[in-house]
Chain A
Amino acid sequence: MITTCPPDHDWLALATKDLAGPREETLLAHRLTCARCQERCRQLEANTEAYLRGFARHQSALAERLTPRRPSRRRWALIAAPVTVAAALAIVVLRPTPLVEAPADLRTKGSARAPENVQLRAWITRNGQTQPLEGSRRLRPHDQLSFDLTTAEDGFLSIFSIGPDSQVQPLYPSSAPTEAPDPMFIPAGRTRLPDALEWTPNTPATRLVIVYANQRFSRPHAHDKLRAALHAGRTPLHSVLGPEFIVRVFTERGARP
């Protein structure tokens, strides 16, 4: 028999069956005589039941987080159609460390720093041939732009487009943030984003904003912040998503709508 209440950790261990033998018996004996511990156990039981009621939802959300998502080609193609390729790219990161490797034809706007552990490359596919995007190259209808990202650690990515009317639209991994509120999981190493953006003859000039962070962020939240920044007359150059974010914007020289 123990006279003082056991540490709360023991009740958790008892509930998860990590406690056995004499210690378990001692705890149970104490509970019989202690109103406070009886209340604590009732609380633990109630919280357990509450969690288990939504367990299928929790388990499914967890499985989704653990499995990198690859959006379907069909959806990507649909959202790609109205987009003119790269006028601007932005990298948003949580930690202020240096250097994004940008294609030669992309110049930097703004003085914010980008992370050294992220390398972004843009590729252009024309007539079946894929080459790095270079400075003198002008984009033509049906050119396809694709990206790859090399990171030292796991991260998350989302892409938005900003049209000539300054409207911000979510693009990737889905054009419907309510269906996919989470950004795409990017494992450490080199990741080629699935599929490509195709430049069609009728599309207006559009800037692309690539948001990357080493922690999961909310796409709707990032969307709102970008939109607010534009409405406030600020381009998404710095501090768009809060003080912990650093943004870098690249502008593509050769692109002409």
Chain B
Amino acid sequence: MDDRIGDIEGLHRRYGPALYDRSLRMLGNAADAEDAVQETFVKAYRAWHQHRYGDSRLPWLLKINTNECLKILRTRRRKPTERLGQEEPPDAKRPLLEQQTHIRYLLAAMADRVDRKTWQIVVAHYVDGVPQQDIADRLGITRRTVVERLSKLRRLGIRGVLQVSEGDV
């Protein structure tokens, strides 16, 4: 068990900052992003034997991190806290930040409306920018399923946010 803790701490050193960056882009504030990173590694510790992504741990950790961010977004929607509203408004002069802000709105809007698989697809597509075929391979589903899930989201009534995001992705 001690070895496993040492391994997790080593992974934390290597991947923690990148996961923090990704969580921050999804959640919009540092405290939530730190929570998401910590929960990611706690879950990784518990699911250590489930790692089946070849040599790199990054895709595995990203998948866990995606689910943890979903949990935080759902909790935040149920229990609005002082953390909400602290985000900076979109900055039209900085396209990258504006796009990231729109994606964050998109994620927050759909957190309670999609299942976990769809959530994985959404984050891989809009946050990580992964091509659809790669998403399908990573999740063990067909590309058609990926396309259908993304299309279904557009029918959920969050088209406005999606259109803005897709224009930049």
User: Taking beta carbons and an 8 Å cutoff, which residues of A are in contact with B?
Assistant: 5-9, 12-13, 15-18, 36, 39-40, 43-44, 47-48, 50-52, 54-55, 58-59, 61-63, 65-67, 154, 242-244
> Is A67's CB under 8 angstroms from B21's CB?
no
Q: State A5–B130 Cα separation when bound (angstroms).
A: 11
Query: How many residues of B sit at the interface, in one of the four size bands?
Result: 35 or more
Q: Enumerate B120-162 residues with CB–CB distance to A below 8 Å.
A: 124, 127-131
Q: Which residues of A contact B62 (CB under 8 A)?
A: 9, 12
Tell me whether A66 and B21 are in contact in the complex, defined as CB-CB below 8 angstroms, given that A39-B94, A50-B30 are known contacts. Answer: no
CB distance from A233 to the nearest CB of B (A): 23
Chain A residue at smallest Cβ distance from B61: A16
Residue of B nearest to A221 (CB): B79
Q: Which residues of A contact B124 (CB under 8 A)?
A: 9
With beta carbons under 8 angstroms apart, the residue of A5, A9, A51, A61 that contacts B17 is: A51
Using an 8 Å CB-CB cutoff, how does the interface string of B97-129 with A read, 1 for contact, 0 for none?
000000000000000000000000000100111
Q: B83 at interface (Cβ–Cβ under 8 A)?
A: no
**What residues of B have a CB within 8 angstroms of the CB of A40 in the complex?**
96
Contact (Cβ within 8 A) A66 B42: yes
Bound: A229/B17 CA distance, A: 40
B127 close to A59 (CB less than 8 A): no
Q: B52 within 8 Å of A by Cβ?
A: no
B61 → A minimal CB distance (Å): 9
The 8 closest A-B pairs by CB, nearest first: A7-B129, A47-B21, A48-B17, A9-B128, A51-B20, A51-B17, A8-B129, A12-B18
10 further interface pairs, Cβ-Cβ under 8 Å (given A15-B17, A62-B9, A243-B78) = A9-B124, A12-B21, A12-B128, A51-B20, A54-B34, A58-B16, A63-B5, A63-B9, A67-B5, A242-B79
Cα distance A121–B34 when bound, in Å?
A: 37
A65 touches B18 (CB 8 A): no
- B135 to chain A minimum Cβ distance, whole angstroms, is 10
